[in-house]
Amino acid sequence: SQQGEEDPQALSIQEGENATMNCSYKTSINNLQWYRQNSGRGLVHLILIRSNEREKHSGRLRVTLDTSKKSSSLLITASRAADTASYFCATALGANFGNEKLTFGTGTRLTIIP
Amino acid sequence: EAQVTQNPRYLITVTGKKLTVTCSQNMNHEYMSWYRQDPGLGLRQIYYSMNVEVTDKGDVPEGYKVSRKEKRNFPLILESPSPNQTSLYFCASSPIYPYNEQFFGPGTRLTVL
């Protein structure tokens, strides 16, 4: 099964609203990353949060990490039509497990309605 | 421009006909990886390489081969493609430390008939 699982699988909101998507994982991690994918294109890195960090911001993006619950959330504020995409979380495991792999979840499909 | 390139972008082939998908990066990254993306399954890692001549299996390596003879190139080889290898393939690269983000290529859409 996947290390990271996003929730919800799909989300539709009006332009200007905030979008929140969640990611849960199973094992200890070194860091967690969020990526965006426009339809059929390559993934683009958005933000990386390390296991010793709790919150991180980048522009309209806010990511939180709760290692006790093994979960992360991505908040996109003041959404725009251009934010329509799929969003994936990816976990890099801790040193004890080998950190060579970045394991992706199945993604949240976000649609912004103009 | 820093980038990861893949070729071809689209390929339709027949069962059993050997093919190679090339991947090249110009960022001097040590780490390179191949993923396949299928509906409902997200991205799954096929193979990865920590440096020249160092490769290892990911989650779904069956039916694939890779090589890393040069730091910038990491080709994916399908010796005898089968229809279940029809998928969207991505190459990615990153520096190894400190476990930075990965840079993805534009993808190769492969159809095996």
Sign of the Cα torsion B29, B93, A48, A93 reads negative
Min mean pLDDT across A10-24, A36-50, A62-76, A94-108 is at A94-108
What does the pLDDT average to over A71-90? 96
Min mean pLDDT across A2-11, A42-51, B93-102 is at B93-102
Determine the residue among A102, A103, A108 to mutate to test chain B binding: the one whose Cβ has the most chain B Cβ atoms within 10 Å. Answer: A102
DSSP letters spanning A51-111: TT-SEEEETTEEEEEETTTTEEEEEE-S--GGG-EEEEEEEEE-GGG-S--EEE---EEEE
pLDDT band for A94, please (50, 70, 90 cuts).
low
What does the pLDDT average to over B18-31? 95
What does the pLDDT average to over A68-84? 96
Cβ contacts of B1 within 8 Å, gap of 6 or more: none
CA distances from A37 to A76, A83, B105 (A): 15, 10, 12
CB pairs under 8 A between A and B: 54
- pLDDT of B46 > 80? The answer is yes
Asked if A33 lies within 8 A of B101 by C-beta distance, the reply is yes
User: Which residues of chain A are at the B interface, by a Cβ-Cβ cutoff of 8 Å?
Assistant: 2, 30-31, 33, 35, 40-45, 48, 88, 92, 99-107
B92 vs B34: CA distance, rounded Å: 6
